[in-house]
C-alpha cells in the first residue's frame, strides 16, 4: 500500500522510532510526553488509522467502544495486555498488537540484577557509601547470600523464565520450576519440574516470579505461600506487582522470613508504591525498567510498525493478539 497510515502516538519514543514514524507515516507524535487521559486519546484518535499506546493509556471496554470508526489497530509498546480490553477490541474488529520476544533479554538482565543486588545487600551498601558511613572494614560487614551454586525456583517458564534459567546456570545455579504444563526435555535443559507451586516453594531459597498476570495468578505470593519458602529466602519479581500480596511480603521482609527482595514491578506503580518497600534496607528495587535498554526499545517500536504494515497488507501478523 502506498498511502501513509495515520497513527496517533501517545508517548515519546526513542529517536529511531520517531524518525521512522515521521518518514513513513502520517504520525501525530507526543510533544511533551504527558500521560493522555482516556478522553484525550479518544478525541485525538479522530481520523486515525491506528493508535500506538503504552501501559500508561489503559483502554477499557467503554473507551474502546468510544474510539472513532477510523481506528483499525491498537499497537501497545508492551508485552502485558492487562491495560486493554481485548474482547471489546475484538468485538469492534480492531486488531491489537504487542511486543513479545524482544523484551526477553533486557528483562532477564534486570532479573539477574535484582537477584544479585538483593542477595549481596547492595541497597545497604550503596546507602552506606552515599551517607559517608563507610569508615572501617570488618569480616561481618554486609555479609550477604551466595548466588553461585545456589538453587533458583522459577514460577512461570515462558520465554523470560527459560532465559532467566539459562543466565542463572552461568552462576552454576540449580534450576527448579513450576509451569502450567511441563516443558519438553530440550527446553527444560536439566531443570526440575514441580507439579505444584506449593511443592516448588520449599525447594527455592531463591524464588523468581516470571509468570504473567492473570486472574488466577494475581495475589499468588500470599502469606500462606511465603510460609512455605525456606527461611531466609530471596524473592525476585519482574512480572507484575499484582502477583504479590504486599502486606504478606512486607511482613516477611521485616521478620527475616524473607531475607531480601528484588522488585522491578509494584502494585500501585508508579505513584502509590508501598512506602515500606522504599524504607526497608533489604529491598533492592528498580522502577519497572525491565525493557529499558536501547536495542530492545527500538525493536519494540519496529515490531509494532512492521506488524501494522503486515496487517494493512492483509498478511499474517506474528505479534497480533486480537
At residue 12, the pLDDT reads: 98
CB atoms within 10 A of CB 307: 22
Is the distance from CB of 265 to CB of 208 less than 8 angstroms? no
Q: From the candidates 72, 176, 288, 297, give the one annotated as an active-site residue.
A: 288
Give the model's pLDDT for residue 2: 56
Pairing outcome for strands 73-76 and 95-97: parallel
Report whether 106 contacts 292 (CB < 8 A): yes
288 is catalytic: yes
Tell me, yes or no, if 240 is annotated catalytic. yes
pLDDT of residue 322: 96
The residue among 246, 255, 241, 256 whose CA lies nearest residue 276 is 246
Torsion of CA 107, 113, 118, 124, to 10 degrees: -130
Q: Which of 269, 276, 312, 320 is catalytic?
A: 269
Which listed residue (72, 121, 176, 240) is catalytic?
A: 240
Closest of 208, 201, 204, 146 to residue 174, by C-alpha = 204
pLDDT of res. 73: 98
End-to-end CA distance of the chain: 22
pLDDT tens across the length of the chain (322 residues): 458 999 999 999 999 999 999 999 999 999 999 999 999 999 999 999 999 999 999 999 999 999 999 999 999 999 989 999 999 999 999 999 999 999 999 999 999 999 999 999 999 999 999 999 999 999 999 999 999 999 999 999 999 999 999 999 999 999 999 999 999 999 999 999 999 999 999 999 999 999 999 999 999 999 999 999 999 999 999 999 999 999 999 999 999 999 999 999 999 999 999 999 999 999 999 999 999 999 999 999 999 999 999 999 999 999 999 9
3-state secondary structure 85-127: CHHHHHHHCCEEECCCCCCHHHHHHHHHHHHHHHHCCHHHHHH
CA gap 205, 221 in Å, rounded: 15
Cβ atoms within 10 A of the Cβ of 118, count? 27
Structural domains in the chain, sorted by start: 6-101+293-312 (3.40.50.720), 104-285 (3.40.50.720)
Determine whether 34 is an active site residue: no
Amino acid at each position: 500500500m502506498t498511502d501513509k497510515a495515520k497513527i496517533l502516538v501517545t508517548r515519546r519514543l526513542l529517536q529511531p522510532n520517531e524518525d521512522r514514524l515521521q518518514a513513513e507515516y502520517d504520525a501525530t507524535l507526543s510533544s511533551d510526553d504527558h500521560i493522555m487521559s482516556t478522553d484525550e486519546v479518544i478525541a485525538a484518535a479522530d481520523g486515525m488509522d491506528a493508535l500506538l499506546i503504552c501501559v500508561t493509556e489503559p483502554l477499557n471496554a467503554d473507551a474502546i467502544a468510544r474510539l472513532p470508526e477510523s481506528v483499525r489497530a491498537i499497537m501497545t509498546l508492551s508485552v502485558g495486555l492487562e491495560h486493554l480490553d481485548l474482547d471489546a477490541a475484538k468485538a469492534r474488529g480492531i486488531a491489537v498488537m504487542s511486543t513479545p520476544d524482544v523484551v526477553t533479554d533486557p528483562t532477564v538482565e534486570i532479573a539477574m540484577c535484582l537477584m544479585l543486588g538483593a542477595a549481596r545487600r547492595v541497597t545497604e551498601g550503596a546507602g552506606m557509601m552515599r551517607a559517608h558511613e563507610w569508615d572501617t572494614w570488618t569480616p561481618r560487614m554486609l555479609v550477604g547470600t551466595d548466588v553461585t551454586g545456589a538453587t533458583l525456583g522459577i514460577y512461570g517458564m515462558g520465554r523470560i523464565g527459560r532465559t532467566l534459567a539459562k543466565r542463572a546456570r552461568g552462576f552454576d545455579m540449580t534450576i527448579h520450576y513450576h509451569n502450567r504444563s511441563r516443558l519438553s526435555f530440550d527446553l527444560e535443559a536439566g531443570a526440575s519440574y514441580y507439579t505444584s507451586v506449593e511443592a516448588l516453594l520449599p525447594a527455592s531459597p531463591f524464588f523468581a516470579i516470571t509468570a504473567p498476570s492473570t486472574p488466577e495468578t494475581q495475589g499468588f505470593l500470599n502469606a500462606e505461600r511465603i510460609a512455605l519458602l525456606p527461611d531466609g529466602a530471596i524473592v525476585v519479581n519482574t512480572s507484575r506487582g499484582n502477583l504479590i500480596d504486599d502486606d504478606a511480603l512486607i511482613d516477611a521482609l521485616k521478620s527475616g522470613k524473607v531475607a531480601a527482595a528484588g522488585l522491578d514491578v509494584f502494585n500501585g506503580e508508579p505513584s502509590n508504591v508501598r512506602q515500606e518497600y522504599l524504607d526497608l534496607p533489604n529491598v533492592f528495587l528498580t522502577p519497572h525498567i525491565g525493557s529499558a535498554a536501547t536495542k530492545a526499545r527500538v525493536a519494540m517500536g519496529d515490531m509494532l510498525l512492521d506488524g501494522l504494515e503486515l496487517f494493512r497488507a492483509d498478511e499474517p501478523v506474528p505479534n497480533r493478539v486480537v
